[in-house]
Amino acid sequence: MHYVVTGGMGFIGSNLSEYLAKDHDVTIIDDGATGRYVNIKNLVENRTGNSGSAEGLDNSVRFVKGSITDPELLKKEFEGADGIFHQGAIPSVPRSVADPARTSNVNIEGTLNVLIAARDCGVRKVVFASSSSVYGNTPTLPKVETMCPSPLSPYALQKLAGETYCGIFTDIYGLDTVALRYFNVFGPKQDPNSQYAAVIPNFIKKLLNNEAPIIYGNGEQTRDFTYVKNVIQANVKAMESDATGFYNIACGERISLNNLAENIMEILNFHTEPIYKEPRAEDVRDSLADISKANNAFNYKPEYSLNDGLRETIEWYNI
């Protein structure tokens, strides 16, 4: 197959591109706004053209520097593609709060551009990276897809708008689309140095430097952390299936940030007291997913537990 990955230099996009390249031709589109070329450098430079790779495979990987805000570029690169994995976005809730206009241009208008180009090029399916943030702070747990969304940030609203556009393009134009609501994804290639870095790379970075991790709030807030290899599995299975609609992608288990810090310290054999700071207003209190819909639709079953993922992630950061 020939697949296009938007945002392919990003954390999830680069891991997904690496997996897909084992068996398929892959075109990565990224403008470098938040993604990092180092995430795909070996993949692209060892597997160019159609002449094979260091592994002796015939499939190719192409990198195209460009933005999903460029409709003409998308139409050119989507021609002949079998499917689009739309990971491209300006991620993070705090970033959207700081700059709602710019993030909206990329996350909403960019997604619309992707869908129009996919429709016009006759692409079979688009798998869209959505977010559990669309649920907001609704107290009911676990989060089920039938619940009414309640976004609390521009980013959450932008992802919900992307989901809605996906559904409309399926209903009106017959373009198959799937939106995957990711729950707190973590793993190798996640940038711990960004000011918007997620909690797990932040904890790992601090502890590897023999520093105390920083927790915003009292640490009793909970998350359903999802290892990136589980997310890759969900993307591939969703693409290969006949499923459409939106689905939770998580592990179906939650852990407090205090216990998360303890787990990481236990793996690293380094123990210290976390530093507690004022909670952030835009943060969700608790998160837990019901993943039965994805399991029924395309046989999604998490293959990696939280601690399995933590060990692999720590090993990657510690190299």
SS (H, E, C) 100-111: HHHHHHHHHHHH
Q: What is the DSSP string of 138-203?
A: ---SSB-TTSPP---SHHHHHHHHHHHHHHHHHHHH--EEEEEEE-SEE-TT--SSSTT--HHHHH
3-state secondary structure of 230: helix
Question: Tokens 């739309």 identify what position?
Answer: 86
3-class SS at 304?
A: coil
2, exposed or middle or buried, with CB in 10 Å at 0-12, 13-18, 19+? middle
Q: Which three-class secondary structure state does DSSP give residue 305?
A: coil
Nearest to 126 by CA among 162, 102, 156: 162
- Catalytic residue numbers read 155
Alpha-carbon dihedral 86, 181, 90, 1, rounded to 10 degrees: -20
Show the tokens assigned to 71.
Answer: 């409709």
Task: Kindly state the tokens that stand for 38.
Answer: 């180092």
